[in-house]
Chain A
Amino acid sequence: MTAEVGTTAPAAGTEQPPGKRALSEGKRAERKLAFWLCAPAAIVMLAVTAWPIIYSIWLSLQRYDLRFPAETEFVGLENYITVLSSPYWWTSFGVTVFLTAISVAIEFVLGFALALIMHRTIVARGLIRTVALIPYGIVTVVAAFSWRYAFTPDTGYLAQLIAPDSALLTERLPAFSIIIVAEVWKTTPFMALLLMAGLALVPDDLLKAASVDGAGPWKRFIKVIVPVMKPAILVAVLFRMLDAFRIFDNIFVLTQGAQQTGSVSVSTYNNLIKGLNLGIGSTMSVLIFITVAIIAFIFVKGFGTAAPGSDDGGKR
């Protein structure tokens, strides 16, 4: 929110009423007004984002288990040591990294293909784009339940079709595959939409020039389209990675984290809500926050991703 205050103030400052005295006074008044106008929004934002973050950091520094409220006390970084030395945490961390890497990679490839198709389509353009976006419009939990029913032994149509004699969701690798399929099915349209916006930034003349210069379709794609739309690609991948790292609903509905398929978010939920251990749960959520921040930092500083001006866009 501070960013908004920052952008409003200079905008107000660029107004230049005539006369020197009037200018500085008018300017000051306008700046003041700008701050006042932004204040309510800024306060609300602080209340709903900054305060929970600070509060969970505070909770993570305490031994705080609702089952033993009497034993609550400040323990410093002890919770962090507990979590970071726990194999359960590292298993779920590994699961999360694995799921993120695989699903974002598949989404990127499929999303790019879809984006190219949507970009090139001439007939029924609006219809195709709308249809392609349907999965993204469906609530994740609802979609997850339909995947679960589809893979329920005996009754599910996909279970009958693929492996009639086994319960795929109870085996680790098949369960991962189903989780990834559900994720990919759901979020590829989002990736495609962002990439399509990037494709629109590649001028037609550039592609014409490349074909006359001797580039076939593949060379045009690799040497011209991808480099020119690199900023859009980075933003799309960053958004999806931040989002995928926090995967929760699909896993929760499909496996509940059984067979070691739980992500860090599932572990956090288990400790915080199921286990009522506020200290450990908060520690885990702070660790997720830090990891996500590191990913964003690497993208923005390392790859030069343009800092997105809006929210993370990947909300479900």
Chain B
Amino acid sequence: MAEIVLDKVTKRYPDGALAASEVDIDIADGEFIILVGPSGCGKSTTLNMIAGLEDISSGELRIGGARMNEKAPKDRDIAMVFQSYALYPHMSVRENMAFPLRLAKVDDREVREKVDEAATILDLTNHLDRKPSNLSGGQRQRVAMGRAIVRSPKAFLMDEPLSNLDAKLRVQMRTSVSKLQKQLGTTTVYVTHDQTEAMTLGDRVVVLRGGYVQQVGSPQFLYEQPANLFVAGFIGSPSMNFFPASLADNRLNTPLGEVELTDRVRRLLEGKDAPREVIAGVRPEHFEDAGLLDEPTRSGGATFRAKVDVLESMGSDKYAYFTVEGEQAVSSELEELAADAGATEVPETGSQVVTRLSAASTATEGGTTELWFDRDKVELFDPSSGVNLTYSG
């Protein structure tokens, strides 16, 4: 067990492509940290650099205080779990799990004890003599975890370990990975492209985009205080709604109507040199069916009428989708997020808005409803730099 420090770690390929740029992360001993971002954001490269599978172009990597840049993977005392599980097909489950111990020249009795112990934890005792090809996806995943834990390494590195499982199993395994990590208390770096995994698993989350760290923080902090448009759009499901808006005389003009800025927002904007044209972001849960609100609450926000395109009733909540005609908010971050979500495949006019309403809402599909949003929860972003103008962290 050890802390891992990435000090301005950069990966530049010979062809000049920059996969990771000056990544600075201090991972505490026993911490569970998530690297998250869309494909090509440099999260796997960063993980591979920690593992020693890729050279570090510049910067320093320290594990347990010792510089690791020049050390071979086998000398770093770390274990890794791959998306493909990378089980040795010619070895039985027992041999797979024992492999790192055998290479470390651990004596036979100890190997057997450790493998049996790991098999008990992971509920693999009955499968020890089978070959990986005879196991189900979930079992293979557990063998891969087993191979990592038998050695009691300084750190676990996990590269999308749950991505090959079906949705239901993934949720189950997510909880068991989390439990296992707490039980063992081993420093863990976990790479995923799934923001739900990032939110639920990690002590802290690192959001990456194009090789640059966007923000580091606890899941709740990233959700409430995104540093920029990219983090705001990436974290949260369904994701935040964005509109083009303009600021004038402490009033915000949005396609949903004009609202007065609250004192909190005004204070945050002070000294930030906010441009006139901004992008406003509102999370789905900050909308409500106006008819359900009492007058004081209602006056804390803005109301507007919208025709509900689709209404999804989840039992506890209702998701109402409607379209705002006119121009969409434009920024490179939003385009990248849309491309990652596959939204560019769907032709659309205007911007689609998702709102989460109480189950008591009387909104109907195709009907027009009066909706409300909380003006104090509006986040404002600079369209050119993507910076969150209402960030207070």
The residues of A that contact B83 with a CB separation of less than 8 Å are: 205
Q: When chains A and B are docked, how far (Å) is the Cα of A227 from the Cα of B132?
A: 15
Q: Which of B48, B74, B147 contacts A215 (CB 8 A)?
A: B74
Chain A residues positioned under 8 Å from B82 (CB to CB): 205, 208-209
- Whether a CB of chain A sits under 8 angstroms from the CB of B72 is yes
**CB of B104 closer than 8 Å to a CB of A:** yes
CB of B88 within 8 A of chain A? yes
Cβ–Cβ contact B74 & A206, under 8 A: no
- Candidates A211, A224, A228; contact of B73 at CB < 8 Å: A211
Asked whether any CB of chain B lies closer than 8 Å to the CB of A40, the reply is no
Q: Which residues of B contact A206 (CB under 8 A)?
A: 86, 88
Q: Which of the residues B72, B80, B90 comes within 8 Å of A216, measured between beta carbons?
A: B72
Question: Which residues of the partner chain A approach B104 to less than 8 Å between Cβ atoms?
Answer: 214
Asked if A212 and B53 sit within 8 Å, CB to CB, the answer is yes
Question: Are B86's CB and A228's CB within 8 A?
Answer: no
Task: Tell me, yes or no, whether B89 is within 8 Å of chain A by CB.
Answer: yes
Chain A residue at smallest Cβ distance from B100: A213
A308 to B78: give the CA distance in the assembly, Å: 42
For residue A215, which residue of chain B has the nearest CB? B103
Tally of B interface residues using CB under 8 Å:
23
Per-position 1/0 for A155-179, Cβ under 8 A of B: 0000000000000000000000000
Contact code string A103-117 (vs B, CB < 8 Å = 1, else 0) = 000000000000000
One of A203, A205, A213, A230 near B103 (C-beta < 8 A): A213
**Chain A residues bordering chain B, tally (CB within 8 A):** 18
* CB-defined contacts of B103 to chain A, threshold 8 Å: 213-215, 219
Say yes or no: A203 contacts B74, CB within 8 Å. Answer: no
The 0/1 profile, CB within 8 Å of A marked 1, for residues 67-103 of chain B is 0000011100011101110101110000000011001
Whether, in the assembled complex, B51 has its beta carbon less than 8 Å from a beta carbon of chain A, the answer is yes
Complex Cα–Cα for A175 and B271 (A): 91
Query: A208 vs B53: C-alpha distance in the bound complex, in angstroms?
Result: 7
Is the CB–CB distance between A214 and B74 below 8 Å? yes
Contact B80 A212 (CB under 8 A): yes
A residues 90-144 with Cβ under 8 Å of B?
A: none
- Which B residues are in CB contact (< 8 Å) with A228? 88-90
A208 touches B89 (CB 8 A): no
A205 to B132, CA, bound (A): 15
A-side contacts of B48, CB under 8 Å: 208
What residues of B have a CB within 8 angstroms of the CB of A230 in the complex?
90
Specify which chain A residues have a CB less than 8 angstroms from the CB of B84 in the assembled complex. 203, 205
Contacts of B89 in A (CB 8 A): 228
* Least distance between B71 CB and chain A CB atoms (Å): 12
Measured between alpha carbons, how far is A74 from B179 in the docked complex, in Å?
A: 84
Give the distance in Å from the alpha carbon of A132 to the alpha carbon of B59 in the complex: 40
CB distance from A101 to the nearest CB of B (A): 26
Do A212 and B73 touch across chains, with their CB atoms under 8 A apart?
A: yes
B90→A212 contact, CB < 8 A: no
CB of A212 within 8 A of CB of B51, answer yes
Q: Which residues of A sit under 8 angstroms from B86, Cβ to Cβ?
A: 203, 205-206, 208-209
Contacts of B78 in A (CB 8 A): 212
Q: Is the CB of B53 within 8 A of A214?
A: no
Max chain A CB contacts within 10 Å: which of B52, B78, B80?
B80
> In the complex, what's the smallest C-beta–C-beta distance from B22 to chain A, in angstroms?
25
* A216, B74: Cβ atoms closer than 8 Å: yes
B186 CB to closest chain A CB (Å) equals 15
A224 touches B88 (CB 8 A): yes
| Per-residue contact bits, chain B 301-342, to A (CB 8 Å; 1 contact, 0 not) | 000000000000000000000000000000000000000000
- Kindly provide the distance from the CB of A263 to the nearest chain B CB, expressed in whole angstroms: 36
Contacts of A224 in B (CB 8 A): 88
Q: Which of A213, A224, A228, A230 has the most CB of B within 10 A?
A: A213
Q: How far, in angstroms, from A231 to B79 measured CA to CA in the complex?
A: 29
Rounded to whole Å, the gap between the CB of B163 and the closest CB of chain A is 13
Whether A212 contacts B74 by the Cβ 8 Å rule is: yes
Interfacial chain B residues near A205, Cβ < 8 Å: 82-84, 86
Whether A211 and B74, one on each chain, are in contact in the complex, defined by CB atoms closer than 8 angstroms, is yes
On chain A, the residues within 8 Å of B72 by CB distance are: 211, 216
Cβ proximity bits A219-241 to B, threshold 8 Å, 1 near / 0 not: 10001100110100000000000
Determine the residue in chain B with the shortest Cβ distance to A202.
Answer: B89
B-side contacts of A209, CB under 8 Å: 80, 82, 86, 88, 147
User: Interface code B45-57, partner A: CB below 8 Å = 1, 0 otherwise?
Assistant: 0001001110000
- The answer for the CA separation of A250 and B51 in the assembled complex, in Å, is 51
Q: Which of A203, A206, A208, A215 has the most CB of B within 10 A?
A: A208
What's the least CB distance linking B383 to chain A, in Å? 41
User: In the complex, what distance in Å separates the CA atom of A205 from the CA atom of B164?
Assistant: 14
Q: How far is the CA of A296 from the CA of B157 in the complex (A)?
A: 46
Cβ-neighbour of A227 out of B51, B52, B90 (below 8 A): B90
**Smallest Cβ-Cβ distance to B76: which chain A residue:** A212
- In the bound complex, residues from chain B placing their C-beta under 8 Å from that of A216 are 72, 74
CB B47 to nearest CB in A, in angstroms, measures: 11
A6 to B91, CA, bound (A): 35
Q: Can you sample 19 A-B contacts with CB below 8 Å?
A: A205-B86, A208-B48, A208-B73, A208-B80, A210-B99, A211-B53, A211-B72, A211-B73, A211-B74, A212-B51, A212-B73, A213-B99, A214-B104, A215-B74, A216-B72, A223-B99, A227-B88, A228-B89, A228-B90
**Which residues in A have some Cβ–Cβ distance to B below 8 Å?**
203, 205-206, 208-216, 219, 223-224, 227-228, 230
Q: What 9 A-B pairs come out closest when comparing CB atoms?
A: A209-B86, A205-B86, A214-B103, A213-B100, A227-B90, A214-B74, A211-B73, A212-B80, A205-B84
Besides A215-B74, A230-B90, 20 more A-B contacts (Cβ < 8 Å) are A203-B86, A205-B82, A208-B48, A208-B53, A208-B73, A208-B80, A209-B80, A209-B82, A209-B86, A209-B88, A209-B147, A211-B73, A212-B78, A213-B74, A214-B74, A215-B103, A216-B72, A224-B88, A227-B88, A228-B89
